[in-house]
Each structure stands twice: as structure tokens, then as C-alpha cells.
A and B are shown apart, each in its own frame.
Chain A
Amino acid sequence: MSMELIKPGINIDFVGKMKYAMAFSAILIILGIGSVIFHGGFNLGIDFAGGSIIQVKFSKNVSADQIRESFKATKLENSMIQQFGVNEFLIRTHETFSDQKMLAVNVEQPLGAAFGKDFEIRRVEVVGAKVSSDFRSKAIIAIILSWLAILIYVTWRFEFRYAMGGILALVHDTLIVIGAVSLLNMEFTINILAALVFVIGFSINDTIVTLDRIREIVKRNPKQKLGDIINLAINETLSRTILTSLTVFLTLLALYIFGGAVIRDFTFALLVGTIAGTYSTIYIACTSVLLFEKMRLPKMARKK
């Protein structure tokens, strides 16, 4: 006997639950957008907003307040100080230390005065206004381009209405991840952007597998109702969808736990994206094809 997580012959009416799924997704997305509005926009990291991050590790017990105290009367007085690990802290500021001596005056000297030699500056990142505004526009272009590129590819490989379903799922996943990042008030960094593009790739991966199955069933049985075909396709590929998502999810969990604090935001966004991607493949991408069918979107020539 082989192991089976999902029994063969399973038959869940996914298409019938489309309305609930759409409502559920809409609530999540509205929640996310609401959070963005509530927070007054995105909590942009220095990559997109400009500023500096300084990571300092101490060799003795130190509190964020003690560090703040030491920065009194320097340019770091109003910086955000956040614990990052054991006796390790991230100091964030909007200052961009373009002048070489600034860092020495504002960071090394006050820390040295307060903590002697018990600290080590492990990372400094300074992003100026020109680079951050470049990154902002490039980020938006990257996301939209990846949607477009995939829309074109899936249209070419399948049909426009399937591609539309796939893109709807991608936009859905992107919004969910962005919403989750905003809800937790995490910083929107360049890592999050990379995660978003990966989620787009992962989500379309899942969608293509199911779309392929739909196409195969249509070929085998062209007379069947589209709703039934879609249901059958999702059920037949369900075992694979769940298994894959589970492996990817657990691999990511390993990265999240053991990969270190530097890429934790990245892996978190990927974890959320994996769940959203799996859900959207099942409930959004394929079922919405039916919606587009009803809207009579122009059919493009079917290709193999």
C-alpha cells in the first residue's frame, strides 16, 4: 500500500463554493488595504524610503533604552531601536550618512562612550534618496511586468480567459502578502519584493498544473459542462497541489527558523504567499474561469 494523503476519487464541489471563497478573499484583501490606509501607507524600509540601518551586537546585556540614552544629542536621537537577536539590535534612522565622518561621530563615539569596547558594528546599510526612489519605481515595474509576462505566456499556452483567471489569482496573492506585511506592521523591504515575485511564480506554477488538467479533460470529453470539468480537474490534481504546497511550506519553515534574522522577513512573506498561492489556485484561478466564461470574454484560438 502506498501512502495517500488525499484519497483518489475525492470529489469536492469547489466551483459551488466559489461565492463564499470570493467573499472570503475580498474580506482578507479589504482588511489588508484597510491596514495600509490605517498605517498611513506602507512602512517602507530604507531600500524604498531612504535612510540607514545599523546592526550592533553587544557582548553583554544591554537594553534598547540604554542604547537610546547613549544616542542623546546625536543625529540618532530619534532613531528606532529594535532588538534583533540575543544582545543584538537594529538601529533605524531616516538620516543618510553621506558624509564619511558622520557614522563615527553619531554611532561609534556615543556607543564607545556608553559601552566601552563591548559592542561590534556588524552591518551598516545606507540608502540615499536617489537610489530609493529608483527602487520604488523599479519595484512597481517589476511586479506589473511579471504579471504581464505571465499573462502573455499563459494566454499563448492556453486561452485568454484561463490567463485572466491566473492573473486574478496572482493579483490576489500579491495583495494578500502585502496586506499581511502591513497588518503586522513589518517593513516593506527589497526582500519582500523578491518574495512577492517568487510567490507570483509559485502561484502560477500551481495554476498551470490545474489548467493543464482542465485542457486534458476538455480534449477527452468536450461535451461536459465547464463547471464540472473545472471541479474534476481541481479534484484530480488536489493530491499533488496539497503535497507540493506542504513540502514547499515546510522547507520554507526550515529557512524561517534556521535561516537567520537577516532573511526572516523574506521567508515570512514566502510562507504567507505559499498558503495564499495554494488557496487561490483552488478557489480563485480556476473557478473564476467560469465567471469569465459567463462574461463571454473573447475566446482565443485554442493551442496545444
Chain B
Amino acid sequence: MIKSLKIRIAITAVVCLAALYFLVPTFFTQIPSPWNEYFPKEKIHLGLDLQGGMHLVLEVDADKALESMVERMSVDLKESLMADKVRFRRVERVKGAVISLELTEAAGKTALEKILNEQYPDLEIASSSTREGGMLVDLKIKDKRAVEIKKLTIEHSLETIRNRVDQFGVAEPEIIPEGDNRILIQLPGIKDPERAKNLIGKTALLEFKIVDDEASLEEALRGNIPEGDVIAYGTRTDRSTGQKGTQPYLLKNKALLTGASLETAKVQISDRYGEPNVSLKFNSQGAADFERITGENVRRRLAIVLDGVVHSAPVIQEKISGGQAQITGTFSMDEARDLAIVLRAGALPAPVNILEERTVGPSLGSDSIQQGIMATIIGSLFVILFMIVYYRLSGAVADFALIIQILLILAVLAALRATLTLPGIAGMLLTVGVAVDANILIFERIREELRAGKTVRLAVDTGYDRAFITIVDTHIAGIIAAIILMFFGTGPIKGFATTTIIGLVFSLFSAIFVTRVIFEYFTWNYNIKKLSI
């Protein structure tokens, strides 16, 4: 312990001033102009339980991203094999991310290996076996590359979601990766949680596919889907009755163009019905592709497919240059706006699942703040009163230290940008209890020493010295418990652990440093015969 009382008083004063400095933005919302540059900007952050908002934990299905990548590769591989005249019976993606292919000549394997080496460095042969008149080969993505792809998928998803939330306009959103494949999202003050969830969770994979009008849709619906085709559905609204139904389409499986070729997307109001639609503008490569595709497919229908659902399938009248297209449909204004946002921000590379959702409405949040403040005031007042009644002037000294402690906790919360939650308020109040305990420990000790006949100055000294190690031990044990909770915790619980740890540190400071400075100042400078304790 530092011997010089002056230095200790100085330390106390500096710490208190620093605390007040960091609390200025929390207590004064408007600081006049020449002064506001000198003060920090950070207020105390309120948790979602206090200000309302949404907490989401998403899981990125990275395996799906791998699967669709392998799916695309299998289509390309088929073309490569044909180009190199390697004879095969079938090439397809089977369960998971494995391409199974059947070669009709045993010699084909060498040719396949050559193609893989030159054009598909990510693929390797997982197993192969001879069949009558051919070979059965399973291909898979190299393990190292698969891990890389999954990691990239998570990063890309995170980036996409950040973009979407930014464009949606949420103040101080928090979007952070959690564990291997999870994303934690905190959106304070969100008004329409359903809409936000839709915006974040939508894969938004936009694809342009040609409708296969040559084959029979009826046949396909009966189960005879032609090679290379798929069935997709769209909604259809009967103009006369207004009833909604589903409309099946038979599409060529290969996507000719995707949302990746977009430059931008925005909402437009159609002239005829005043309905909102989303207008798309392709980037230069996309515009060239679009011109070529429309040119090659005049008189056929081009389906605009979003996340597997056909939005519209207009007939291509002529080659379209200029790189513009429209998605029409029966959108509300909000739906059209959100669709434009997700298309601008890009598709998620993999589907996401919501694992956890917690939404608190703003009214419940403000109720909780009021109750929290009320409980803190009543609890603290009670403690303050008790200390004065039981320990008189010494109790008042302890109370002074308690108030400093509360200010210090709030200041550190503001400075560290930590979050104050409802359990956090409880934690703060509890550490006030711990600080009171430390004071009780010291005061009971001083009383014991006084009863044993020691002078005031000696009793204070011995009281503090004897209680010191006990207080340190109890605080460390408490901090250990709180740190464990911190590792475990989510949202509100983490808030409880954070304020408890901060609170315990300052409880230590206030109980064994601040009060001692005050006691020693008086006992050293004045000849006190009888201590009010």
C-alpha cells in the first residue's frame, strides 16, 4: 500500500474525475459546441432487453454451398467430357458433395484424370471400381479446399448480411461470427422484426432460365421429366377473381444468368397499374450475356426465378440490349424495397437457418429500464440508509465510496462500450452488496479492536490490515465465478457477468482504498478520541 496520503488522495481524485469525464455524454445529451470536442462521444450502450430490438443467431448451411458448387461442376464436367470425347454413361451429383460417374471404357480413367488435372484442380478421385464394360468413379472436392470453401462461405454470408442490414438502415447493428458456422446479429430498436428477418434470411438467389416449351408439362408433372429439365412453381393471381394459385413451369435446369451479374436494383412504380416493381441493371458482362441470351431465344419464354420460385416468365419478343430487366409481381411497396436491397447486396452463398431469436418490443424495453432504475434506487437507498443507521459517520464514509463505485462502473461501461442489460443492473446492485460486505467486515473488525482497547488510529489501521486479505480473497473468488459465466453467457447473461466483474474490481477499490484514505485523512490530521462507528 502506498504510504503517502497525499498521493492516495490524488489517485482517488484522478480516478473520480476520469469517471465523470466518461459519463458526460451519458448524462448530458447536448454539449455546447466548443466543448463537445473535448468529451467522448460514447454513451452507455443499453442491451436489447432495455431498448428493444432483435437478437438472432443464424447458422450458415455451408454444406449446401459445397453441394451446389459440386452440382455446377458436374454440369461443367459433363461438357468437358463430351468435348474431349471421353465416353460415359452418366455424370451426376449423388448424396452430399460427391460426383458419381460411369465411364464406358476402362481407358477413360486416364483421360478423366487428365481433364481433372487441367481444368478441375479442386476435384479428386475418391474411389473407383471396374464394372462390366466400364468404370465407376466417385469424385469429391479435395478436403483442404472444402474447408477453405466453407470458410469463405461463412465470410461471404457475413459480408452479405452486413450489406443488407446497412442498406436497410439500422442504427448500431452488431453482426459478428460465432463459432464455426454461426452468425450473431443484434439489431437495436427494430420496429418490424418479421420484415428484418425476411430481409436477412432470404437467400435471394436470382436466376434466369429458359422455359422448356418443347416438352410436355403434363408429362413432366406425371414424373417423366426430360433430361436437363426441372419443374418450378410460381404464384398466379386470377385477374378476375383475385384468387391466388400455384402455376407449374418446366424449365431448362441450366441458369443462363444469375444475380451475380447485376450492377444494381431499384424500385420503380409501373405506369399502368401504379404497382411497384423492381428494375434490374446488369453490369457490362451481364448486359452482353443478356443480349446474347435474349437474341438466341427469341419467341421463347425467359423465367425469372428467385430462390426457386418463378416470379414471371415473359416471352422474349426481340433481342434486348442495354442490360435492363424488370421483376414484376404483386409486391407491396415494402416487399419491393426489400427485394431491391437483397438483390443489390447479393445472394447468400448458402441458405441460413435461424437457430435463436429474441425480440423485445420498445414498450417492454422502456418498462424494464424504469423497473431497473427503480430497483437500483430503492436497493441503493436501503443500503445507504442501513449503513448510516448502523455505523453512523463511518457508514456515511462507506456510502460515499459506494456512490463512487456506482459511477465508476457506469463510466467503465461507457468507456469500454460494454452493454448494460437488465441482469447487468442486477449484477451492479449485487456488487454494491459485496462492497457493503467489505465495509461491514472492516467496521466489525475496527469495533473489535476498539473493544480490545486500542486507540482510534491503531484500531483503524489494524481493522483495515486484518480485513484486507479476506476482502481480496472474497473478491477474487467472485471474479472467478463471473469469468466462468462470461465464457458461457449469451446476451443478457454476459451483461450480468461483465458488470459483476467490473463491479467487483471497483468494489475492491472503493472498500479498501477510498474509505481508508478518508479515515486516515481524519485520524491522522485530527486527534479523534472516539470514532463514530
Q: Does B16 contact A (CB under 8 A)?
A: no
**Cβ–Cβ contact B432 & A251, under 8 A:** yes
Chain A residues with Cβ below 8 Å from B425 are 259
**Cβ–Cβ contact B437 & A247, under 8 A:** yes
**Cβ–Cβ contact A247 & B433, under 8 A:** yes
Cβ distance B519 to chain A, nearest Cβ, rounded Å = 16
Q: Does A44 contact B (CB under 8 A)?
A: no
**Cβ–Cβ contact A153 & B447, under 8 A:** no
From A5, A154, A197, B481 is in contact (CB under 8 Å) with: A197
**Cβ–Cβ contact A2 & B391, under 8 A:** yes
Q: Does B378 contact A (CB under 8 A)?
A: yes
Bound form: Cα–Cα A267–B379 in Å = 13
Contact flags B350-393 to A (C-beta < 8 A → 1, else 0): 00011111111101100110011011001100110010011110
Cβ distance B422 to chain A, nearest Cβ, rounded Å = 6
Chain A residues with Cβ below 8 Å from B197 are 100
Scan residues 45-83 of chain A and give those whose CB is less than 8 A from a CB of chain B: 55, 57
Which of A26-34, A122-130, A175-183 is the contact stretch? A122-130
**Cβ–Cβ contact A244 & B371, under 8 A:** no
| Interface residues on chain A, number (Cβ under 8 Å) | 71
Contact flags B213-247 to A (C-beta < 8 A → 1, else 0): 00000000000000000000000000000000000
From known contacts A205-B437, A263-B422, infer whether A146 and B382 are also in contact, taking CB-CB under 8 Å: no
Chain A residues with Cβ below 8 Å from B389 are 3
Chain A residues with Cβ below 8 Å from B57 are 131
Q: Does A121 contact B (CB under 8 A)?
A: yes
Chain B residues with Cβ below 8 Å from A114 are none
Q: Does B317 contact A (CB under 8 A)?
A: no
Bound form: Cα–Cα A255–B496 in Å = 14
Chain B residues with Cβ below 8 Å from A130 are 59, 355
Chain A residues with Cβ below 8 Å from B382 are 250-251, 254
| Residue of B with least CB distance to A98 | B354
Scan residues 83-126 of chain B and give those whose CB is less than 8 A from a CB of chain A: none
Q: Does A36 contact B (CB under 8 A)?
A: no
From B356, B392, B440, B481, A2 is in contact (CB under 8 Å) with: B392
**Cβ–Cβ contact B470 & A212, under 8 A:** yes
Q: Does A87 contact B (CB under 8 A)?
A: no
Bound form: Cα–Cα A236–B436 in Å = 19
Q: Does A194 contact B (CB under 8 A)?
A: yes
From known contacts A2-B447, A266-B426, infer whether A209 and B474 are also in contact, taking CB-CB under 8 Å: yes
Chain B residues with Cβ below 8 Å from A257 are 375
**Cβ–Cβ contact A100 & B478, under 8 A:** no
**Cβ–Cβ contact A266 & B423, under 8 A:** yes
Q: Does B207 contact A (CB under 8 A)?
A: no
Scan residues 237-256 of chain A and give those whose CB is less than 8 A from a CB of chain B: 237, 239-240, 243-244, 247-248, 250-252, 254-255
Chain B residues with Cβ below 8 Å from A153 are 476-477, 480
Which of B32-40, B296-304, B407-415, B484-492 is the contact stretch? B484-492
From B354, B447, B484, B492, A146 is in contact (CB under 8 Å) with: B484
Which of A14-22, A134-142, A282-290, A293-301 is the contact stretch? A134-142
**Cβ–Cβ contact A255 & B473, under 8 A:** no
Cβ distance B343 to chain A, nearest Cβ, rounded Å = 18
**Cβ–Cβ contact B353 & A98, under 8 A:** yes
| Interface residues on chain B, number (Cβ under 8 Å) | 74
From A122, A201, A216, A244, B478 is in contact (CB under 8 Å) with: A201
**Cβ–Cβ contact B49 & A262, under 8 A:** yes
Cβ distance B173 to chain A, nearest Cβ, rounded Å = 19
Q: Does B65 contact A (CB under 8 A)?
A: no
| Residue of A with least CB distance to B378 | A254
Contact flags A212-244 to B (C-beta < 8 A → 1, else 0): 100010000000000000000000110110011
Bound form: Cα–Cα A126–B358 in Å = 6
**Cβ–Cβ contact A120 & B371, under 8 A:** no
Cβ distance B328 to chain A, nearest Cβ, rounded Å = 22
Chain B residues with Cβ below 8 Å from A201 are 477-478, 480-482
**Cβ–Cβ contact A120 & B358, under 8 A:** no
Chain B residues with Cβ below 8 Å from A104 are 194
**Cβ–Cβ contact A205 & B193, under 8 A:** no
From known contacts A208-B474, A247-B436, A260-B371, infer whether A254 and B355 are also in contact, taking CB-CB under 8 Å: no
Chain B residues with Cβ below 8 Å from A150 are 477, 480-481
Contact flags B309-328 to A (C-beta < 8 A → 1, else 0): 00000000000000000000
Chain A residues with Cβ below 8 Å from B364 are 55, 122-123, 262
Known: A125-B359, A244-B437. 10 other contacts (CB 8 A): A8-B451, A123-B358, A142-B485, A153-B480, A194-B493, A194-B496, A202-B478, A258-B374, A260-B371, A262-B364
8 contacts between A and B (CB under 8 A): A2-B390, A3-B391, A57-B363, A125-B358, A190-B490, A209-B474, A240-B441, A266-B426
Question: Chain A residues in contact with chain B, CB under 8 A?
Answer: 2-3, 5, 8, 55, 57, 97-98, 100, 103-104, 120-128, 130-131, 135, 138-139, 141-142, 145-146, 149-150, 153-154, 157, 190-191, 193-194, 197-198, 200-202, 204-205, 208-209, 212, 216, 236-237, 239-240, 243-244, 247-248, 250-252, 254-255, 257-260, 262-263, 266-267, 270
Question: Chain B residues in contact with chain A, CB under 8 A?
Answer: 49, 57, 59, 193-194, 197-198, 201, 353-361, 363-364, 367-368, 371-372, 374-375, 378-379, 382-383, 386, 389-392, 422-423, 425-426, 429-430, 432-434, 436-437, 440-441, 444, 447-448, 451, 466, 469-470, 473-474, 476-478, 480-482, 484-485, 487-490, 492-493, 496-497, 500, 533
